[in-house]
Amino acid sequence: MDEPVCAYLHDLPALQSHIKAMVDILPKKTCLFYAIKANPDPKILKTLLPYVDGFEVASLGELQRVRYVSEEIPVLFGGPGKKEYELEQALKKGVSYIHVESLLELRKLIGVAAQLDIDTNILLRVNLHERTLPVTNVTMAGKPSPFGMDEWIIEEALTILQDVENTHVHFRGFHFHSLSNNKHPDRHMEMILLYMEKVEEWKRTFNVEVSVINVGGGLGVSYDDKPSFDWERFITLFKKSGVLDRLGEAELFFEPGRYIVADFVYYAAEMIDLKSSMDQHFAILRGGTHHHRLPASWGQDHPFSIVSTDDWEWTYDFKRPGIHDDFISIVGELCSPKDRLHSRAKVETLRVGDIVVFEKSGAYSWTISHHDFLGHPHPVFLYKDEWKTKKEEG
């Protein structure tokens, strides 16, 4: 008997069109980096490679994934808790900028760079104290945070950098990443204007030159009926804001992840059982949150569609289970009540053997999931040309 359907489906041509459209309207003095933590699939990286200005990584493992597809593409290295061996490899593998998150990390980097006799450029990641930032699912700034350094630490960091014993680590600017999944371009623009004000203040206060301002990512994708982030509107606002004139000779970096890839990967899982309990219905899938953890992680219902398998061979001598015009919760195969992908969705028809396809599954889905819990098989990974071939083969 064939294994029930469980697969990630990647639409790389659509991803290519999307990234090209984003890059085509980028203003001068700005660069677009892809934060690969959203989805580090090598075929996704290769698809984006000709269009983005570089990749942002947050571990040695991610750096190795990037260098697997390109030895030359610029790389930004962020993330808290960088180990000395990671800093060493970052220097050896030609990282363009390191986002320094703490004074200890800065001191370690200065020592490693001197020992290797390799020069490197850094951006100081700053955790702003402002409480006027947009409200999103995940906020990293404006409150106590393990990410970046508080504003009052900047002076000490610059003093360390200016010490005569530091001959290899060069300050180039500041990095901000304050929130995740902001769907409001107007508020995002306000946040960037706040970043600009802060950088201009620090330039005056500390008498430093700034050649790079990294405003991070955080561009939002909607998982309900509300609109996602409007990139075109944001760029229009950005061009009208005066930021380009205020940059002078400096560059401004964007490093989104989710917004680039979320819409172009689908998670498909076959319904293998139908249960009813206390007047509620449950569709049990060959799959679940061990493959696609995002809805459980954020406590949300994930959007889906149903592919009816009318020609599916039902080999049993009893009626194929299904429901019609009713509410049902979509759950997985794990021994956990947390294994839920959508609660009480209204469906016209859903039967055992039908395929539930979860849209917007390209970011923070597979790689954040607990793949090996209970030892279930992993899903198949298919890419558009391969996907077509398998469908044609039946």
CB atoms within 10 A of CB 247: 20
CB 199 within 8 A of CB 153: no
CA-nearest of 260, 294, 292 to 366 is 292
CB atoms within 10 A of CB 254: 26
How far apart are alpha carbons 302 and 292 in whole angstroms? 10
- In 3-state terms, the chain is what percent helix, strand and coil (to 5)? 35, 25, 40
Catalytic residue among 165, 277, 335, 375: 335
CB atoms within 10 A of CB 230: 17
DSSP assignment, residue 226? Answer: S
| Category of 79 on φ-ψ map: left (φ > 0), alpha (ψ -120 to 50) or beta | left
Q: Is 316 exposed, middle or buried (0-12, 13-18, 19+ CB in 10 A)?
A: exposed
Q: Residue 348, SS3? A: strand
Sign, CA dihedral 96-102-103-105, equals: negative
How far apart are alpha carbons 250 and 30 in whole angstroms? 9
How far apart are alpha carbons 331 and 329 in whole angstroms? 6
Active site residue 335: yes
Known catalytic residues?
A: 335
